[in-house]
Chains A and B, each alone.
Chain A
Amino acid sequence: MSSTERGNGMAAGPDDGTGDDGASAAFVEEWRNAAYNCYSSGHKFCREVCPVMQVTRNEVHTPTAFHANVVAMEKGLLSIEDVARDYVHCTQCGACELRCPNTLYTGDFYRFRTRTVQLVKAVRALAVDSGIHQPGWQRWVEETDRQKSEPVLGDVPVSQEHVRDWAAGLDLPVGGETILFCDCEGAFHRTSVPRAAARILQAAGVEFGLMREQWCCGGPAAEMGYSERAREFARHNVDDWRAVGAKRIIVFDPHDYITFTEDYPSYFGDEYDFEIVLFVELLAELIRDGRLALTRPVERAVTYHDACRLNKRKGIHAAPREVLRAIPGLTFKDVDHVTQWSYCSGAGGGLPIERPDLTAEISRRRVERAAALDVDTLVSACVWSERPLTEQRGALEVMDLLEIVALAAGLEDAT
C-alpha cells in the first residue's frame, strides 16, 4: 500500500510543493545538480566534522540533509516552510565543504566544489523572500538597519554616534588611501581588539585612517538571508571608501574578510577594485620585515583557536601561527589546522542569536579541548569567537591574537 493511500502526509508530486512557487522553483533549478552530487554519493563524511551536528546529533542539521532537502523539494516532498528552521543550524564554518570527497578528490578537474555555505545562505534567502522569518534574526537585522551597526550590546543601544568610541585617545585620522575597518563586535564590545590593531599599525609606521561613517559590513544580514539589506550596507560602505579615496581596506575580523572578498565582489563586479588586507597576514609580514619588534616576553602557555573563516573558508592557518611563534616567552602548544576542521566556537552564521544554547555548548567543548593541553590561554584571531569562548572559559583566559601581540610589542596602552 502506498503512503499516499495510507495518508501519512507524504503525497508526492511536482504539483504538491514547488510547482506553483516561482522562487522555490528557481532555487531548485539552480541547486538541483549540486544537490544530487551530494545526495548521490551518500558519503556523509561531513557529518562528524560539523560543529552543530556534533552537539545536536540530529540528522536534519547535517550538510547531507541540507542538500537532500533540495532533491525532496524537487520531488514535491518538502517545501521551504518545512525546512527553513533546519537551516538555522549552521555556523557557516565550511568544515563540511573541506571534508567532502567530491571537493577533495575530483573537484578541480570538474570545476566543482561542494558549496554548503552558499546553499545555506540561499535557502535562508529563499525563506526570507517567502515571508518566513526567524524572529531573532529579523529583530537583529531590523535593529542593525536602524542603528547601522549590529545590536551587539543587547539592550544597550549602539549608534553611529559611538561607532568610533573605541578609538578614543588614539588620535586616528579619517580617510586616506588605507582604511582600517572595525567590525561591530570590536567597535562596541571587545574594543581592546581594534585598539590593539590601531596601535600596532601606528607602531609599525603604517599610515591609515577610519571611515567617515562606518556601517555594518552587511555580512551577517546576508548570512541570515536578508540579501537586499546586506547590499544596502555594502553600497554605503563602498561609497564611503570611494569618497575618501581609499584603495586598501585592512580588516582584522575574519567575517568582514569573507564579506569583503566574496560578497562585495559578487555585488559590484568590476567596479569593486579595492585591495582587502587581512590584518594577521599583514602582521606576520610586519614582524618578518622587522617593522614591528616583539621584545617584551609574554610568559604564557597558549594554544591557538583556528578561526573557521580563516582556516576552513580561506585556508589561512600559517600566518597566525607564525605570529605566535615570534612572541618571546610564549609556550605555544599547537593543534594542527586539519584537526581543527571539527572545532568551532559556534559564533558564526547567526547561530548565537537563534540558538545561543548550541553556541554555548560548542564553545564549551572547544574550551575543554584547550584546557586538556594544560595551557593558561586560548588565543583566537576572530573577535566574534571570543565572547562565547570567554563565557565558557573556566580557568583559561581567552585573548585575541592582536591583544597578545600588543603586549609583546610593549603597547600596553592599547588594551
Chain B
Amino acid sequence: MTSILVTDPVIDELVAICGPDNVFADKSSRVNRARVPAPFPVHRWAEHVPDVVVLPTSAEQVSEVVKLANRHRIPVVPRAGGTGLTDGAVPLRHGIVVDVKLMNKILEVDLDDRTVTVQPGINMLKLNEELRQYGVIYPDDPASYPCSLVGGRIGTSGWSLIGGRYGHTRDLVISFQIVLPTGELIWVGDGGGRKVRKSSTGYQLKQLFMGHQGTLGIVTEAVLELVPRPEAEFAAFFSYPDYETAWRSTGALAKSGLATLAGVVLFDEWKLDYLRRDDEAYIPQPDDVRCVVATAMYGTTDEVRPGAKRLLRIGKETGGAYLGDEISQGDWASRHDRYATPLHGRLRDGQVVPMSWHCEDASINWSKLPQVRREWHDIVARLGDRFRIFDDWGMFAYTNGAFKPWGDYLTEIDVGIWEQELDDAAWDAWVTAKRDIAAVAIAYGGSISACHGACREGEVDLVPEELGGAGTS
C-alpha cells in the first residue's frame, strides 16, 4: 500500500491501540469498506477507498483512535452495518474507517427496568434471538432488520416498519455512549440516568446526536427499550381500483386510533406494475387491482382480535378488498426482503438487465402525497427519457409517526439503475434528479429524508433551505 495520508508510523500507532489482528491496510479490506448499498457511483469507487481499517473492541480503543486521528489530522469514518443509503459509512475523503462490528456484545439484560445494554455492532435479529428466552423484544424493525446494526441505526436515526406501535430508533434508544471528535467519552440520554425515558433536566442531548451520520462522533454503547414479545400479530392487505381510493383509505386506517396498529403502507400503481413483472415476486392479481394497502397490528390477543375486526371494517368501508390471509400473512412476514430485487430491472424495450436498487425517501404529509407522487414519477420519467439505464420501480408511503401512525408518511420512490453502464453524464443527471426530488419534498412542506439521511450529493445541497425555512412552501 502506498498512502501519503496514513503513514506507516500511524499504522504502528493504530496497531498499538487495537492490536495487530484488528488493523487492516490491505487493498481488499479497504475496497470493501468503501461502499454502502446505494446509490453509489461504482465507476468512481476508487475515490471512496479508505487508507486503513480498524476493528476496535472497546470504547477506549475507539477514543484512542479518534485522538490519534486528531493529532495527525486524518479523517475518521465510523462504519457499522454499512447498509445505510446516504454515505454515513462511506469514506468521502479516505482516512481511517472505524468498523465497530467486533463490538457486538450484549452487556446487560435488565428485566426489572426493561432495558438491554449493547455494543453498537450487534444486529437486531441476532439480539432478538437472544432476547426470546426472556419473553421480550427490541422492536426496531427496518427493512434491513436481518443485517443492519444498532450503531448505524443511531447514526441514521432509523425508521421502523412497526414504529406506529413501538416508536422508531430515536424513541427506542434510551441513552448511549458516544466518543466525541475530541476523543472524549460522554453519555447522552433524556436527563442523566442511563435508563430514564423522560426528563426535564437541562437540554436533551440525545436527539442532537441521533442521526449524526458519523459527523459528531462514534457510538460505543447503547441502552435500548424492551417491550413484551407480542402475543398476537395481525396483518391485512387490501386492494383498490385506483390511487385516490387507496390514498383516502390509507388515511382512514392510519387515523383509526387503534393502539395496536403498527403501520400502514400504501403501494402505488407503479409499484404494482413493477411487482407484476414476474409471477414469482407477487402473487398474481386481477388487472383491476391497481394499488395495495398493507396494515399490521401487534399486541396482546385481547387487544388485537377485536382491533383486527375494526381494521377490516374500515378497510372495506373505504373501498378496499381484503386480499386474503395467505397474501396478508405471507407478504408481511417477508416484508424485509420481498420488494426490491435487481432481477426485475428492465430497459424500456423490455430487456432484463442487472439493476441496482436506489431509493429516495422523504417525509410527506398525508394531504400532499398525491401531488408529490405525480411530480416524483415525472422526474424519474424525464431521467429515463435521457438515459436508458434508469427504471421507475414505483413508490411506497409508510406511516411515519411514532406511537400514533398518522399525519406524515415516509415516502419512497425506488429507481433501478443499470450501474454497469453508468458514466459521469448519467451520474450527474441522477444527482440532479435527487436534488429535484428533494426540492419537491420541501416545496410541499415535507422533509428531504424520513430515515435515510440527507447527506448525499444532490439532496445535501438543499438541507439549508429545508432547515432555514421549515414548514414554508
Contact = CB atoms under 8 A, between A and B. Distances in A.
A105 B341 contact: yes
A69 B3 CA distance: 21
A117 to B, nearest CB: 19
A271 interface: no
Interface stretch (B26-34, B260-268, B314-322, B433-441): B26-34
Contacts of B225: none
B272 to A, nearest CB: 16
Most A Cβ at <10 Å: residue of B29, B337, B356: B337
Interface residues of A, number: 50
A58 B31 contact: no
Contact of A77 (B46, B419, B420): B46
A40 B36 contact: no
A33 interface: yes
A82 B26 contact: yes
Interface in B268-291: 278-281
A109 to B, nearest CB: 4
A300 interface: no
B147 A33 contact: no
Interface in A3-59: 3-4, 6-12, 32-33, 36-37, 39-45, 47-49, 57-59
Interface in A99-138: 99, 101-102, 104-110, 112
A72 interface: yes
Contacts of A108: 280
Contact of A48 (B28, B46, B123, B334): B123
Contacts of B354: 33, 36-37, 40
A75 B43 contact: yes
B279 A109 contact: yes
B37 A105 contact: no
A11 B46 contact: yes
A86 B4 contact: no
Contact of A82 (B28, B126, B146, B279): B28
B419 A40 contact: yes
A42 B36 contact: yes
B82 interface: yes
B307 to A, nearest CB: 30
Contacts of A104: 334, 337
Most A Cβ at <10 Å: residue of B102, B146, B357, B419: B146
B116 interface: no
Interface string B337-356: 11011111000000010111
Contacts of A39: 42, 356, 419
Given A10-B46, A43-B37, A44-B81, A78 B31 contact: yes
A396 interface: no
Contacts of A201: none
Interface in A54-82: 57-60, 65, 68-69, 71-72, 75, 77-78, 82
B278 A106 contact: yes
Interface in B65-114: 81-83, 94, 99, 101-102, 104
Main secondary structure of the interface of B (DSSP, over half): loop
B47 A3 contact: yes
Contacts of B338: 101, 105
Interface string B195-218: 000000000000000000000000
B4 to A, nearest CB: 6
B425 interface: no
A99 B123 CA distance: 16
Contacts of B29: 58-60
Contacts of A4: 46
A59 B32 contact: yes
B360 interface: no
Contact of A59 (B33, B49, B336): B33
Nearest to B340: A41
Contact of B420 (A7, A36, A41, A110): A36
B343 A112 contact: yes
B283 to A, nearest CB: 11
Contacts of A60: 24, 28-29, 32
Given A72-B32, A82-B26, 18 more contacts: A8-B2, A8-B5, A10-B30, A40-B342, A40-B355, A41-B341, A42-B37, A42-B83, A43-B147, A45-B337, A48-B147, A65-B28, A101-B340, A106-B341, A107-B343, A109-B280, A110-B352, A112-B343
Interface of B: 1-5, 24, 26-33, 35-38, 42-43, 45-47, 49, 51, 55, 81-83, 94, 99, 101-102, 104, 121, 123, 125-126, 144, 146-147, 278-281, 334, 336-338, 340-344, 352, 354-357, 419-420
Interface of A: 2-4, 6-12, 32-33, 36-37, 39-45, 47-49, 57-60, 65, 68-69, 71-72, 75, 77-78, 82-83, 86, 99, 101-102, 104-110, 112
7 A-B pairs with least C-beta separation: A42-B37, A40-B356, A101-B337, A109-B278, A57-B101, A109-B280, A36-B354
